[in-house]
């Protein structure tokens, strides 16, 4: 597609539930990134994929967070046992190996 697509755009879930957030990167981009942006703050790095493998997952806050990219294109960020503190905008971005990073519009997750 023309840009990075994220679905859903908004997600409201109850505390303790499991959620999946989807990212469809720009076609041909080998690198994919997930960031989290809490209210009033800048985006925080979560995880980076190069192809199918997670090249750096040092930003994942704890083991409730997991992300996959099984075919090297679409990625899913999975959050188990959601907590109210997980409420944020989750941003996905992609790039070619050396090109600029392009961001999606994000998924606004609200845990109630």
Partner 1 sequence: AQSVSQHNHHVILSEAASLELGCNYSYGGTVNLFWYVQYPGQHLQLLLKYFSGDPLVKGIKGFEAEFIKSKFSFNLRKPSVQWSDTAEYFCAVGNNAGNMLTFGGGTRLMVKP
Q: Which positions lie near partner 1, rule CB under 8 A? A: 3-4, 31, 33, 35, 40-45, 48, 56, 91, 93, 95, 98, 100-106
Q: What angle do CA 53, 58, 62 make, to 5 degrees?
A: 105
C-beta of 110: minimal distance to partner 1 in Å? 17
Phi, psi of 12 (to 5 degrees): -110, 130
Q: Nearer Cβ to partner 1, position 82 or 95?
A: 95
Smallest separation, CB 5 to partner 1 (Å): 11
């Amino acid at each position: 597609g023309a840009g990075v697509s994220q679905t859903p755009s908004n997600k409201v879930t109850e505390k303790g539930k499991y959620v999946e957030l989807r990212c469809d990167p720009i076609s041909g981009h080998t690198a994919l990134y997930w960031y989290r942006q809490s209210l009033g703050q800048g985006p925080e790095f979560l995880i980076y994929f190069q192809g199918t493998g997670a090249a750096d997952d040092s930003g994942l806050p704890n083991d409730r967070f997991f992300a996959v990219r099984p075919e090297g294109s679409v990625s899913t960020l999975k959050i188990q046992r959601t907590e109210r503190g997980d409420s944020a905008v989750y941003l996905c971005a992609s790039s070619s190996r050396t090109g600029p990073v392009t961001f999606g519009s994000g998924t606004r997750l609200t845990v109630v």
